[in-house]
Amino acid sequence: MAQVARAEEIPVRVETDVVLVRQAVRTWAVQQGFTLVDQTKIVTAASEIARNTVIYGRGGVARLEAIVEGARKGLRLIFEDHGPGIADVEMALRDGFTSGSGLGMGLGGARRLVNEFAIDSKPGVGTKVTLTRWK
Amino acid sequence: MERIPILRMGKYLLVTIQVDMHDRLAMQLQEDLTTRIAKDQARGVLIDISALDIVDSFIGRMLADIAGMSRVLDAQTVVVGMQPAVAITLVELGLSLQGVRTALDVERGMRLLEQSLGDATFAGRADEDDGPGGES
Amino acid sequence: MATRLPEILRKNQQALLTEWMAEQKSSLSRKLIKDAELEEQCAAFLRGLERGVSGEDVHNLDAQHWSQAKEVLTAVSRARGQAGYSPSETALFVFSFKKPLFARIGREVPQDEQAAETWTATTVLDRLGLFTTEMFQRSREELINRQQQDMLELSTPVVKLWDGVLALPMIGTLDSARTQVVMETLLQRIVETGSAVAILDITGVPTVDTLVAQHLLKTIAAARLMGADCIISGIRPQIAQTIVHLGVDLGTVTTKATLADAFALALQRTGQTVTRIAHAKKKKKHEDAEKDGKDRD
């Protein structure tokens, strides 16, 4: 089981917060010793989910956790909101942006950029997305 | 609100993105560019993203949209200087940026624009996937 | 309950050794180690085995009295792995001892104790056999890790063929990790050298699977986004078949049969050309002039 060495919470309410999240995740990724490519991947994934939290989740919170499991270090990001929730998660995970419709919530893309991806969403309750990337 | 400056160089417009853009800033850029292309009757747009260490799906779509809009206004768009880590991530994300022409740097980008204005086909780049189709 | 095994081993050392060696030679399909070496290994193991079964807790391999036998087995596993034996062939080292040992048990142990002794013998040998497999795996993993490190370090060199043209000669089988390193190195060099064309030469690649093909395509897509084009050269007929069978879509990627062809195309794409030097031209002119009887110079 992974242990949390350090954690921080950042509000994700308005779209300028998305930039703040990117910067925070970048800093943490550097601290965890990620390669440049891995940093870029986790920051980009965070950007996608943070945007969702603002636009579709009507604002929420991002929790950054520096995690350790045995010899390996990683970064876990938990985005949580109490918005309308996603009715059909399966469909949301399918790539929407290639259709150019402006829908396509970047979920599928974000999933490809991280090692572990979990989404828990209930209509009327909210959404929680967990991203994990190991060094 | 801050805006990203757009420089004019003859019949081209040059944009250098150096800040981590939030969505609204990106949308503003898109709007400003479209306005300027029409106003200056620009024939080409060069977007320098060599300072960007993140390009997510929103920014990616913005670039594709700018290319589309300028094409409609009879201008070519070239995006230059994408960083390797960014390119790798975009590919992993699944964004192909179809319709966006790219070049290694500003100099090459300019050359590309000049070539494209010279004649209808691209000299030596006939098998590029966003080549001749971008002209119409 | 004490076992008679230590006694059996001690009394019949030589005979057991001989029978065991014969057993091994007949069960191993290939001979990859010398007889003298085999004998040494067997003798050492027998000593360790005797020590092990003499101990208090015969079935506990973690007990101190088993460490000698385990040491021998570790060495044997490693040696056999390096010699090219498979894990099964290595485990046979232990399992092939069952026949001679059971035969002895049948001869020297009272009828009513035979079942129990055989059971002890078989469980002990089973555990030891599995131990060799574990050791074999482990030394294999160590070897692979070391080799991987070496390979990644040697890496795939990115070569500058000409102004603006890079070449990436790929040799050997490509795996996920290596292809990833290659991708990142190539893209980095593209930026550093300002090269708009990269030739990926896979003449030296025997096979390509879907995963590797995908990685290559991703590399090419990333290079495109940066403003560089890739040309794949040296695709062997077998690989061409694999690509089609796997349904890999090369899309708009240009392919050329040889590196030379790819280079010619790369020059063209970067607006360069190769011309014969003036000296030869002048010589030809002179020859033509002489033929015509007029001095054109």
Give the neighbor-by-neighbor strand order of the sheet with B12-16: B6-9, B12-16, B44-48, B76-80, B101-103
Q: How confident is the model at residue C125 (pLDDT cuts 50, 70, 90)?
A: very high
Q: Which residues pair with A129 in a beta bridge?
A: A79, A119
| Of B59, C280, C70, residue with least CA distance to A97 | B59
- How far apart CA B15 and CA B44 sit, in angstroms, is 11
Q: How confident is the model at residue C223 (pLDDT cuts 50, 70, 90)?
A: very high
The chains found to touch B (3+ Cβ pairs under 8 angstroms) are A, C
Report the residue of chain A nearest B55, measured CA to CA.
Answer: A44
C60 with C115, same domain: the answer is yes
Count of residues in chain B: 136
Assess if residue B77 is contained within a domain.
Answer: yes
Please tell me whether the overall predicted TM-score, pTM, comes out greater than 0.90 for this model.
no
* Other residues' Cβ atoms within 10 Å of the Cβ of residue C271: 13
C128 with C181, same domain: the answer is no
* Cβ pair A112:B94 closer than 8 A: yes
Min Cα–Cα distance to chain C from B1, Å: 31
Domain interval for residue A53:
3-134
Mutate which: C184, C220, C226, vs B, most B CBs within 10 A: C226
Overall average pLDDT of the C119-139 stretch: 90
Which of these ranges, A96-100, B11-15, B73-77, C110-114, has the smallest mean pLDDT? A96-100
What is the reported pLDDT for A132? 96
Residue C33 corresponds to which tokens in the numbers above?
């180690």
> Residues of chain C with pLDDT > 70: what percent?
93
Instruction: Provide, as residue numbers in chain B, all residues whose Cβ is less than 8 Å from the Cβ of A15.
Output: 22-24
Query: How many domains are there within chain B?
Result: 1
C212 with C248, same domain: the answer is yes
Min Cα–Cα distance to chain B from A119, Å: 18
Between C208 and A51, the higher pLDDT residue: A51
Q: How confident is the model at residue B59 (pLDDT cuts 50, 70, 90)?
A: very high
Assess if residue B136 is contained within a domain.
Answer: no
> What string of H, E and C letters represents the secondary structure of B49-77?
CCCCCCCCHHHHHHHHHHHHHHHHCCCEE
Over the stretch C97-112, which tens digit does the pLDDT of each residue have?
999 999 988 988 889 9
Asked if the model's pLDDT at residue C297 lies above 50, the reply is no
Overall average pLDDT of the C79-96 stretch: 87
Residues 16-45 of B with CB under 8 A from C: none
What is the reported pLDDT for A99? 37
Instruction: Provide, as residue numbers in chain C, all residues whose Cβ is less than 8 Å from the Cβ of B91.
Output: 218, 221-222, 225
Which of these ranges, A45-59, A117-131, B104-118, C275-289, has the smallest mean pLDDT? C275-289
What is the reported pLDDT for C25? 83
C145 with C194, same domain: the answer is no
Last residue of a domain, one of C103, C120, C150: C150
* Cβ pair B89:A113 closer than 8 A: yes
Over the stretch A19-33, which tens digit does the pLDDT of each residue have?
999 999 999 999 999
Residues 48-107 of B with CB under 8 A from C: 80-84, 86-88, 90-92, 96-97, 102-105
Give B11: exposed, middle or buried? Use CB within 10 Å, 0-12, 13-18, 19+.
Answer: middle
Residue B136 corresponds to which tokens in the numbers above?
């119409």
Report the residue of chain B nearest A45, measured CA to CA.
Answer: B56
- How far apart CA C222 and CA B57 sit, in angstroms, is 15
Q: How confident is the model at residue C172 (pLDDT cuts 50, 70, 90)?
A: confident
C73 with C178, same domain: the answer is no
Question: Which residues are CB-contacts of C152 (< 8 A; sequence separation ≥ 6)?
Answer: C177, C178, C181
Give the one of B91, B104, B127 whose C-beta lies nearest to C227's C-beta.
Answer: B104
Which of these ranges, A116-120, B38-42, B93-97, C26-30, has the smallest mean pLDDT? C26-30
Asked if the model's pLDDT at residue B126 lies above 60, the reply is no
Over the stretch A49-103, which tens digit does the pLDDT of each residue have?
999 999 988 999 999 999 998 778 999 999 999 999 888 888 778 765 433 334 4
- How far apart CA B118 and CA B126 sit, in angstroms, is 15
Q: What ipTM was predicted for this assembly?
A: 0.88
Amino acid letter, C56: E
Radius of gyration of chain C (CA): 33
Residues 89-108 of B with CB under 8 A from A: 89, 92-95
What is the reported pLDDT for A47? 96
Overall average pLDDT of the A101-120 stretch: 81
* Cβ pair C254:B129 closer than 8 A: no
Query: How many domains are there within chain A?
Result: 1
Domain interval for residue B62:
6-118
A81: Cα separation from own chain's centroid: 12
Collapsed DSSP state (helix, strand, coil) of residue B100: coil
C222 with C263, same domain: the answer is yes
C217: Cα separation from own chain's centroid: 25
C13 with C123, same domain: the answer is yes
What is the reported pLDDT for B124? 46
Last residue of a domain, one of C116, C150, C184: C150
| Of C252, C180, C245, C167, residue with least CA distance to C209 | C245
Residue C145 corresponds to which tokens in the numbers above?
């890790």
Q: What element of type H or E holds A64?
A: strand A60-69
| Of B100, B120, B99, B122, residue with least CA distance to B111 | B122
What is the reported pLDDT for C162? 94
Give B28: exposed, middle or buried? Use CB within 10 Å, 0-12, 13-18, 19+.
Answer: middle
CATH number where C234 lies: 3.30.750.24
Decide: C208 and C250 in contact? Cβ < 8 Å: no
CATH number where C75 lies: 1.10.490.130
Assess if residue B135 is contained within a domain.
Answer: no
End-to-end CA distance of chain B: 35
Instruction: Provide, as residue numbers in chain C, all residues whose Cβ is less than 8 Å from the Cβ of B86.
Output: 225
Assess if residue C293 is contained within a domain.
Answer: no
Amino acid letter, B65: D
Q: Is C271 left (phi over 0), alpha (psi -120 to 50) or beta?
A: left
Residues of C with CB under 8 A from a CB of B: 183-184, 187-188, 190-191, 194-196, 218, 221-229, 251-252, 254, 268-271
CATH number where A84 lies: 3.30.565.10
Radius of gyration of chain A (CA): 14
Report the residue of chain A nearest B20, measured CA to CA.
Answer: A19
Instruction: Provide, as residue numbers in chain B, all residues whose Cβ is less than 8 Å from the Cβ of A44.
Output: 54-56, 89, 93
Last residue of a domain, one of C118, C150, C182: C150
Query: How many domains are there within chain C?
Result: 2
B63 touches chain A (CB under 8 A): no
- How far apart CA C276 and CA B52 sit, in angstroms, is 44
Assess if residue B128 is contained within a domain.
Answer: no
C107 with C219, same domain: the answer is no
Asked if the model's pLDDT at residue C150 lies above 90, the reply is no
C74 with C182, same domain: the answer is no
Instruction: Provide, as residue numbers in chain B, all residues whose Cβ is less than 8 Å from the Cβ of C216.
Output: none
Over the stretch C231-289, which tens digit does the pLDDT of each residue have?
999 988 888 888 888 888 887 889 999 999 999 999 999 888 888 888 766 667 777 77
The chains found to touch C (3+ Cβ pairs under 8 angstroms) are B
Decide: A77 and A62 in contact? Cβ < 8 Å: yes
Domain interval for residue C20:
5-150
Between B117 and B104, the higher pLDDT residue: B104
Assess if residue B78 is contained within a domain.
Answer: yes
> Residues of chain C with pLDDT > 90: what percent?
32
* Other residues' Cβ atoms within 10 Å of the Cβ of residue C68: 17
CATH number where B95 lies: 3.30.750.24
DSSP readout, C74-101?
A: HHHHHHHHHHT--HHHHHHHHHTTHHHH
Mutate which: A97, A98, A105, vs B, most B CBs within 10 A: A97
DSSP readout, C241-260?
A: HHHHHHT---TT-EEESSHH
Over the stretch C8-28, which tens digit does the pLDDT of each residue have?
888 888 898 889 988 888 877
Asked if the model's pLDDT at residue B131 lies above 50, the reply is no
